[in-house]
Amino acid sequence: MDARSIIMAVRDGAGLAPEAAAWFARGLADGTVSDAQAGAFAMAVLCRGIGAAGRVALTEAMRDSGQVLAWDLPGPVLDKHSTGGIGDSVSLLLAPALAACGVYVPMISGRGLGHTGGTLDKMEVIPGYKALPGTAVLQKVVAEVGCAIVGATNEIAPADRRLYGIRDISGTVESIDLITASILSKKLAAGLGALVLDVKVGSGAFMVEMEDAKALAESLVRTANDAGCHASALITDMSQSLGHSAGNALEVLEVMETLTGSSVNEALWDVTAALGGELLCLAGKARSLDEGAEQIDAAIETGRAAEKFGQMVAALGGPFDFVERFPDRLPAAPVIVPVAAPRRGHVAQVDARALGEAVVRLGGGRLVATDRINPSVGLSGLAAIGEEVDPGEVLCLVHAPDAARAERAAAMVQAAYVISEEPPEEPPLIHGRIGPEDLP
């Protein structure tokens, strides 16, 4: 078996057999497969597809190209994955809430790239927090606390790490087959018993159209279940920022205010409860989705989730008093500028991608993977679709490193908002659910 014959088979529509996927994944991990061959393979998959069986084969092969975690715990091991959006800090609420419900969450997360934020970047605004502690520490913290939000080590799905970089420079990022295998190979390497997928749709998502979001959700759910992991998906709205804030420290502040009850973001809470309810039901810890969501609600309302968050932060090197003193522990931008509504009316539409790009231009995201992030910058108090505004009323606050960048970001934000005379129909938070029983 060799790379050329595998590429030709995919190119000619013959799909990807398990033995071919295993050979190619090993070659990606150990360098036997060249960059040119990896690019050709990715383009062949994009153009011809590999079908449901091929997706499972590639997912399992990339999962098995590195370390696969094994657990000996008294409860189920669960996780969630989001396809990315603006102001989406659900992971920071969900992991400790699930841990407070008696399950275990090794949440292996990623960094932001492009207009979307990254969970690891958010966690690293906490002083001392070790987001890349290694698998031994990950397993210890999960066993002792119940959850850990960390990044993948070099030992987790190395074949995917290589192919991911190739896809970015070869024009093959959009392949649903490759997206599916990339997401699931890393998640399944964590040794999960159940997984919920949060597939975003709208102007701030990678999947702007519902048809594309549904196709990805179905692919993820089918592939995960065929690979032996119970999974379902929610298609959630990203036609505007999910949170009132976008930007790493600002989003952590919003999460902590919600966890401690000082200022609750209902949209973040509701999506968190829905995703958590899915997981608890998949794992047999709740008899229904509603009962699972109620367990998540109770974990947040009683402060047990906040307590778990504080334990996780301390166990991974952060301050022991973070939950009590989080406003003092988070960095703040030196310049704060309000963005005014240009006229009276209702917020009818938001270009959420443009909001994400504004955060990036402030220094809060990456244009390339090597860019350093300014954790303090971003947007807060974002007006939501349906809100009525008067001329000069604040649409949001820009948190910037200097006045020049604040002015440029303010112009981007103002251009991202459409104000109309008539109140619009507000989008639902959750557009649909896809479980194994819903697949065609």
Comparing CA positions, the residue from 149, 400, 349, 373 lying closest to residue 248 is: 373
Would you call 140 a catalytic residue per the annotation? no
Q: Confirm if 380 and 241 have CB atoms less than 8 A apart.
A: no
Q: Confirm if 103 and 146 have CB atoms less than 8 A apart.
A: yes
For the CA atoms of 289, 291, 294, 299, what is the dihedral angle to 10 degrees?
Answer: -100
Share of the chain residues as helix, strand and coil, in percent rounded to the nearest 5: 50, 15, 35
Would you call 119 a catalytic residue per the annotation? yes
Comparing CA positions, the residue from 316, 344, 301 lying closest to residue 127 is: 316
| Catalytic entry in 80, 122, 200, 346 | 80
| Catalytic entry in 186, 222, 285, 431 | 186
| Catalytic entry in 63, 81, 162, 399 | 81
| Catalytic entry in 55, 59, 63, 79 | 79
| Catalytic entry in 55, 115, 130, 167 | 167
Would you call 186 a catalytic residue per the annotation? yes
| Catalytic entry in 59, 119, 239, 272 | 119
Would you call 185 a catalytic residue per the annotation? no
| Catalytic entry in 63, 187, 200, 346 | 187
DSSP string spanning 178-197?
HHHHHHHHHHHTT--SEEEE
Q: Confirm if 86 and 238 have CB atoms less than 8 A apart.
A: yes
| Catalytic entry in 109, 182, 239, 380 | 182
Side chain identity at residue 1, one-letter code: M
In sequence order, the 6+-apart residues with CB closer than 8 A to the CB of 174 are 46
Q: How far is residue 55 from each of residues 48, 161, 217, 273, measured CA to CA in Å?
A: 13, 17, 13, 30
Would you call 80 a catalytic residue per the annotation? yes
| Catalytic entry in 82, 109, 185, 245 | 82
Bridge partner residues of 396 (DSSP): 339
Q: Confirm if 55 and 63 have CB atoms less than 8 A apart.
A: no
Q: Give the catalytic positions in this structure.
A: 79-82, 119, 167, 182, 186-187
